[in-house]
Amino acid sequence: MEMKKITVLGAGIMGAGIAQCAAQAGFEVSIRDMEDRFVEKGLTTIKANLERAVSKGKMTADDADTIMDRVTGTTDLTMAARDADLVIEAVIEVLEIKKQVFQELAAICKKETVFASNTSGLSITEMAVAACRPDKFIGMHFFNPVPVMRLVELIKGFSTSDETLGLAKAFVDKINKTAIVVKEAPGFAVNRILCPMINEAVFALAEDIASPGDIDNAMTLGANMPIGPLALADMVGLDTLLLVLESFHEEFGEDKYRPAPLLRKMVRAGYLGRKSGKGFYDYTIQKGK
């Protein structure tokens, strides 16, 4: 099956990034969210990214306009998905919400449509069953910021067909990214390793071993990481990190995956990282607020 139209569900930072990459690769893209303000914010994010690329000489203004013309936004799920060849879900990291979305899609999309979830660690098999097409369902985990990060994890569910995996690989190649294929397990490959490491950094901070800046410097200068674990947590979103760690703790039943109490307190306080303005660092100062 040749893929031409891509639908992205969720116009947040991940969904907008996925939509941008697909449009740059020549696909017709529909991006859908629950409210007009979210859709408009997603489209604005894509436009700003393209304008930045133009200012850096990476593309012409005409190229940016052509790419932007390939992207449409809507709050209407039927309009967004009924003709899609591939639907990529990038909504909140809550399994029941994702399952509900795929149940709705099953009644809208054509039978050939491939479904993909951008989940960072939830069960592909369980979502595939809810979607009523387990053979045409796959995990397609992108990394933030999507236009920059080259990796995509492709996760086969229990019944994902080889054909679906092949179509997913072809799509990833077309958008100029590198795919790795991993077996279904909590956190897959990257987050299985990364999230416990970030969690340990939060424990270290809570125990007053070092300041946030010194913890991050230790890992950037001493372990050659491009960004420190606490700064990375702020970029990912502390609420998202907490959800992932909670799912690990529940799935594995091992205390080594227990979320740091400080992380839980910060989420309850609304300190979610960059998206809220404050996390382990204060971003309101940088924004001049």
Catalytic residues: 120, 141, 153, 191
| Tokens representing residue 9 in the block | 């569900």
CA dihedral 220, 223, 229, 235 (to 10 degrees): 50
Q: Which helix (H) or strand (E) holds 151?
A: strand 151-156
CB atoms within 10 A of CB 200: 14
If DSSP codes are grouped into helix, strand and coil, which group holds residue 139?
strand
What 8-state DSSP symbol labels residue 282?
B
Distance CA 148, CA 151 (A): 9
DSSP state of 273: B
For the chain, the farthest-separated pair of C-alpha atoms sits apart, in whole angstroms, at 56
The structure tokens listed for 81 are 């998905």
The rounded distance, in Å, linking the Cα atoms of 232 and 195 is: 10
The residue with tokens 């859908």 is 32
Q: What are phi and psi of 207, to 5 degrees?
A: -85, 5
CB 227 within 8 A of CB 235: yes
